[in-house]
Amino acid sequence: MIEFENPFYLISLALLLPLIIFVHFFSLKHAKRKAMKFANFEAIEKVIGTPILSKNLTILYLRILIVLLFVLALSGMKFTYYGISSNRTFVLAIDASLSMNASDIKPTRLEAAKSSAIKFVEKLPVNSEAAVVSFSGISLIEQPLTSDKEKLKAAIKNIKVKEIGGTDLLSALITSANLLKASNKTGAIVLLTDGQFNTKALEDVLIYLHNIPVYALGIGTKEGGKFLGNVTSKLEEKTLEAIANYTNGNYFKVSTREEIENAYSQIIELKKEQKETNLSFFFLIISICLLLTEWILSSTKFRTLP
């Protein structure tokens, strides 16, 4: 989409373009009258069959283009479009609690999550930065913010189930938020978990997340998954939905490897935002170059002689 910061300058084109054309042909007519004092050009043209005095249309076209570009530069013309932002930063927070050993998603929830997260990293725009956080009873920074995809993939591969019990979701969110705030970059948290949480301090954490969207992936089948023998883990969706809604993120319920990968792909798509490119400077440079070209041509090839 094309927009103008100062569209009122465009009105001047309605006056300037006809004026340029009028002045051009008026000047040619005046030059021809002066030239006729020195030679009978009309008789020469009849003999050779071609006009001696050129209309200098090349110069006219150049002048029209120069004025057009200069006015577009003054009008602040810009091109806006939607694309994947290259300056967005992601923190991948991956649950590594004991329940992630459940095998309702093959081979285990954690392994399915890790392979999907690696594919997510591979799809990131070249200049995007990301970090990796794992959490169970505590949260750990596996990889600080980096644009090196190999480091990110290695950090994800190295995540192992932690023996420390529990799922400290709030600690994971705070750790992830701190990474983003320290970078002073616009970013989002991509949270993948299957746990049940202590929500006593959730409201304070949500306030702390100020303007940081959370894209939450709740992993697990409807029936739940068993680990440590007969222990069953079921997902607490309401908390994740509340976090995603409060932070203007999204919640994804995933119960297969394919659904995890689709959710990650959608998150990248959701990061598309409006971008704009201001064309004023480019138009100004081009118009100056054309003005120089016009001056050279007018002084040499298309020079008007008395």
Name the percent of the chain lying above pLDDT 70.
Answer: 79
CA 213 to chain centre: 17
Across the range 248-256, mean pLDDT stands at: 92
**DSSP 8-state code for residue 304:** P
Cα–Cα distance measured from residue 130 to residue 101, given in angstroms and rounded to the nearest whole number: 25
Average per-residue pLDDT in the chain?
A: 82
Token reading at 285: 């440079």
User: Between 149 and 239, where is the model more confident?
Assistant: 149
State yes or no: pLDDT of 164 exceeds 80.
no
Read off the pLDDT of each residue in 56-70 and give the average, rounded to a whole number: 87
Reduced to 3 states (helix: H, G, I; strand: E, B; else coil), residue 253 is strand
pLDDT (0 to 100) of residue 50: 44
pLDDT for 258 beyond 90:
yes
Q: What average pLDDT score do residues 287-291 get?
A: 91
Backbone angles phi, psi at 14, to 5 degrees: -65, -25
Place of tokens 């020469």: 44
Higher pLDDT, 116 or 99: 116
For residue 220, name the pLDDT band (cuts at 50, 70, 90). confident
Q: What is the DSSP string of 167-210?
A: --HHHHHHHHHHHHHHHT--EEEEEEE------TTHHHHHHHTT
pLDDT at 114: 97
- Domain positions in the chain are 2-80+276-299, 86-270
Q: Which of 159-168, 181-190, 206-215 has the lowest mean pLDDT?
A: 159-168
Least confident of 46-55, 234-243, 282-291: 46-55
Neighbouring residues of 13: CB distance < 8 A, sequence distance ≥ 6: 67, 68, 71
Task: State the average pLDDT over residues 193-198.
Answer: 74
More confidently predicted of 270 and 146 = 146
Residue 32: per-residue pLDDT: 62
CATH topology of domain 86-270: Rossmann fold (3.40.50)
